[in-house]
Structure 1
Amino acid sequence: MINWVLVVILFLAKELCLAGLLEGEYEEGKVYRHRLKNGLTILTMERHNVPFIFHQLTYKVGSVNEPAGLTGISHVVEHMMFKGTKKYAKGQVSKIISQNSGIFNAFTSWDMTSYYMYLPKNKIELAFDIESDRMQNSIFDTAEFKSEIRVVLQERRMRSESNSGGIFLENLYSTAFAVSPYRNPIIGWEEDLKRITRDDAYTYYKQYYTPNNAILVLVGDFDTKEILRLAEKYYGTIPPGPEIHEPNVYEPAQKAKKMFSIVHGDVMYPTVLMAFKTPSYNHPDAPALYLAGKILCERSRGSRLYKRLVENEKLALSVSGGFPISKYPRLFTISIQVNPDSNVDRIEKIVWEEIEKMKRELVSDYELQKAKNRYKFTEASEYIKNSDIGMRLSTWECYYGWDYYNNFYNMVLNVAREDIQRVMNEYFKECCNRWVFVAEREEKHKI
């Protein structure tokens, strides 16, 4: 016989629990993923400490997606999406955001393109309206396009051709990689920029800047259910674009050491940079490589190379480097700003001595725990603003999926001393890349 009294009690208890969940369905400080029918991924995090909301729309496209002969087109499209729609004329968005106490900007990288706005909570609907309009209605006027190509070419001359750091980085990646698209500068090669047409850029825009290839991150003072209604209102009606396939990013094994030197009059102190090809963060070896970077060459007084080269032997002015995040395999770098009275070859010899020591001997428990503590501190202290949190969410979701962040965090904390030794032997080999960047006056006796 059914106990109807018990059934009623259980039913009421279930309804009360559901009501409680609905009232507090989204906890402050937690990340939630949502997806619209057109494929747009949305990550939300409520934070009610200040009455502002960070809105970042990221497209999963960057210079790695560019076909041969059209390098720089992602960056060009980023520029063109600021040139107006029928609803918002050129320059109008900037005025509107400023008049409403907000900030906005955009950037293009190898792996992603992002447009972000930070606005008072009662003005956040502007961000939805502007970005949803820009996603589908950017004009790409022919005259504006030709003008903007000239702007990008001038930007390239300033950043990559006249700037010593730009010259160095461009040569670094084009030398290090044989076929990986990371070898191409994000801003593009000059001849490619001159070749790109308005129709090339507009076709690229329609292919990649679509809801099914985008991630919307929202962090700040909002009610999640209410802000999802705004997302559905503004983005939900945009039709999805074509299916996007991941680019075939690979790099053949390097069998010879690559070296080059650059002489430039704007460099005050010589710089030695050594680089090693390593996997991306979703590889099992990544956590150990990350901590190896902190122990070996982090920009801090605790790293081995800083202690030896800067503090003890006074051969260098600074040491930095490590294992940066990227979507595909990139470079672990060691960068040393050399004291003018030092010798570049002596610096490189010491770097190899420290590398070989980490190959032969286990790092100490103290060193490893200290590196883990610094990692935990950095992850907590550098992500306390809504904008910083939003940037981190966007990057991880675009590269590997936000859920992988917690996996990586826990794997870093579980790295053993033997793991450090193993990855040092696996990736830090003599067929690495070595670059020297020197001041003009150092040319004769330093290289």
Structure 2
Amino acid sequence: MRLRSKGSILIAGALFLSMASSAQKVKFTEYDLDNGLHVILHQDNTSPVVAVSVMYHVGSKNETPGLTGFAHFFEHLLFEGSKNIKRGEFMKIVSANGGSNNANTTQDRTFYYEEFPSNQLKLGLWLESERMMHPVINEVGVNTQREVVKEEKRMRVDNRPYGHLMEEVFKNLFVKHPYHWVPIGSMEDINRAKLSEFQAFFKKFYVPGNAVLSISGDLDIDSTKKLIQSYFGPIPGGPEVVQPSIAEMPITQEIIDTAYDANIQLPAILTAYRTPAENSKDAVTLGMISSILSGGASSRLYKELVDDKKTALQVACFNYSLEDYGAYLTLAIPNGTTPLDSLLKDIDANIKDIQTNLISEQDYQKLLNQAEMSFVNSSNSNLGVAENLANGYTFFNKNTNHINEQLKEIRSVTREQIRDVARKYLNKNQRLVLYYLPKAK
């Protein structure tokens, strides 16, 4: 049933706010082992499953020029095996015991996880402790994963339509900061890197004091603590990891650039603005501005450019939040022969309207509903809860309880703040304009 009237929308919003307000608070237990490993436990006995995760505070930001792509490389390399797990057996052990596993890397962290029936919690802990304590890092594994990473880059970047778009954005937005390159890094760097350099990278960053063990699901707190001490307690603490602190000069003049992609037939116009770190309230507000502009078929840009004018096939806005900075992006792909500058003009006009006028109360209520639904959806699984808890500790000043404060942060954003944040960050003299064009093969 679609709610069309203003009154119906407000009633629906009130009902959603009521449900969100009564949502159960995520309870957790957290503590540190003597070696510095931070542990977070969330008990949820509603279903017999458990998620075991380790978040290492290491991403492409921790690399140096000439040695890029290391963090993403280790996302793969640490599945090679360990002192007690034969090469190629890690994933087989997981699947043979009814589980699933994966890992992912960003500019700021690497996240490994397993999901198991809860009677295999012990196995999940053992696997992650093996990965941390004594993985096998040798020439065989390194050479194997070199080829794996090359193939991934070919599939996901080099041969994928618009695959180099983010690379073009970040190399323009950041000059000094390691966000200048993307996590996949340079294949040339990976190819010429020595085994000793990979081993040194592991010893520096994959240590207990630079990690969070976050577990959510059907578990008993006391018995889980004993298992954790047994498997992770003996791991040496390692050196203290100091995160880089590199400031960028403000962008004060519009940057205009052009990139070419042999994998596309349709051009795109993109703008990117450098924005503040993810732990700032302004980052929350910028995410809400994205919803106003392109959050679904009823959003401003979609209705205007795709539905009404039919000048765009696709339009999107989002705030790419990271630990040190962020990037606010707008993207449009033209319909037919629509000039890219025409799309840019319409996008700019919509941003200008947000900078000038307060959004209506009705739109504000809709925006809160969307933001809260997005938050609820991000924590509707044990894995989602485990990751959100680890994120709070790692990126929000060791505030694991951030998971329970996000809705309050969203609701505290006013219409005036939406206008003011748009005025502060989304100006033409603070941005990159990128023309992303087809290139003949």
**TM-score of the aligned structures, taking structure 1 as reference length:** 0.88
> Highest Rg: 1 or 2?
1
The 2-side partners of 1:149 and 1:105 are apart by 18
Encode CA deviations 1:199-229: one digit per residue, 9 max, x unaligned. Answer: 1011110111111111011111111111111
Q: Per the alignment, in what secondary structure is the counterpart of residue 104 of structure 1? A: strand
* Residue in 1 that maps onto 2:219: 222
AA partner of residue 415 (structure 2): R
User: 2: CA distance between counterparts of 1:166 and 1:359?
Assistant: 32
Mean CA deviation greater in 365-374 or 155-164: 155-164
2:64 and 2:178 in contact (8 A); partners too:
no
Instruction: Tell me the distance in 2 between the aligned counterparts of 1:91 and 1:273.
Output: 42
1:30 aligns with 2:27: yes
1:389 lines up with 2:385 in the alignment: yes
Matched, 1:107 2:116: no
Distance in structure 2 (CA, Å) of the matches to 1:255 and 1:81: 42
CA contact (8 A) 1:32 1:44 kept: yes
Asked if the contact 1:28/1:47 (under 8 Å) is kept, the reply is no
RMSD: 2.0
Cα offset, 1:347, TM superposition: 0.5
- The aligned counterpart of 2:143 is 146
Residues 1:437 and 2:433 aligned together: no
**Equivalent residue, structure 1, for 2:346:** 350
Distance in 2 (CA, whole Å) between partners of 1:238 and 1:30 is 28
2:313 is equivalent to residue 313 of structure 1: no
Q: Deviations over 1:44-80 (max 9, x none)?
A: 1111121111001111111101122211111222322
> What SS is found at the alignment partner of 2:419?
helix
CA distance in structure 2 between the partners assigned to 1:381 and 1:143 by the alignment: 41
In structure 2, C-alpha distance between the alignment counterparts of 1:284 and 1:364, rounded to whole Å? 21
Cα deviation per residue 1:151-205 (whole Å; 9 max; x = unaligned)?
A: 3233333333333322222122112221221111211113211221111011110
Greater CA deviation, 158-167 or 189-198? 158-167
Are the equivalent residues in 2 in contact too, given 1:182–1:330 (CA < 8 A)? no
CA deviations on 1:308-345 (whole Å, 9 max, x unpaired) are 11122111122222223321212011122221232211
Gaps of 5+ in 2: 1-23
Corresponding letter in the other structure for 1:272: I
Distance (whole Å) between structure 1 residues aligned to residue 260 and residue 183 of structure 2:
23
CA contact (8 A) 2:49 2:115 kept: yes
Q: Is the 8 A contact 2:80 2:87 kept in 1?
A: yes
For 1:84, give the aligned amino acid: G
Q: Are residues 1:424 and 2:422 paired?
A: yes
Alignment partners' CA distance in 2, 1:405 and 1:258: 37
Match of 1:234 in 2: 231
8 Å CA contact 1:153–1:193 kept in 2: the answer is no
Taking a change above 3 Å as real, the CA distance of residues 80 and 263 of structure 1, as seen in their structure-2 partners, is closer
User: Which of 305, 311, 325 is the equivalent residue of 2:321?
Assistant: 325
Query: Once structures 1 and 2 are overlaid, which stretch shifts more, 281-290 or 125-134?
Result: 281-290
Alignment CA distance shift 1:396-1:339 (3 Å): farther
Q: Which residue of 1 aligns with 2:370?
A: 374
Cα distance, 1:395 vs structure 2: 2.7
Runs (5+) with no aligned partner, structure 1? 1-26
CA separation in 2, counterparts of 1:328 and 1:322? 17
Distance in 2 (alpha carbons) for counterparts of 1:261 and 1:164: 16
In the alignment, which residue of structure 1 is the partner of 2:44?
Answer: 47
CA distance in 2, matches of 1:313, 1:28: 45
| Residue 332 of structure 2, aligned match among 314, 331, 336 | 336
Q: Deviations over 1:5-30 (max 9, x none)?
A: xxxxxxxxxxxxxxxxxxxxxx9941
Number of residue equivalences: 415
SS in 2 for 1:88: coil
Deviations for 1:284-315, whole angstroms, at most 9, x for unmatched residues? 422322222211233x1232111211122111
Aligned to 2:194: 197
Where in structure 2 are the equivalents of 1:8-27 lying within 5 Å?
Answer: none
Shift in alpha-carbon separation, 1:397–1:325, aligned structure 2, 3 A? farther
- Give TM-score scaled by structure 2 length: 0.89
- Give the whole-Å Cα distance in 2 for the aligned partners of 1:250 and 1:419: 25
Q: Do 1:28 and 1:45's aligned partners in 2 also have CA atoms closer than 8 Å? A: no
Q: Which residue of 1 aligns with 2:7?
A: none
1:254 and 2:289 matched: no
Q: Specify the alignment match of 2:408 in structure 1.
A: 410
Matched, 1:243 2:240: yes
1:124 CA drift (Å): 1.5
Equivalents in 2 of 1:134, 1:297: separation in Å? 41
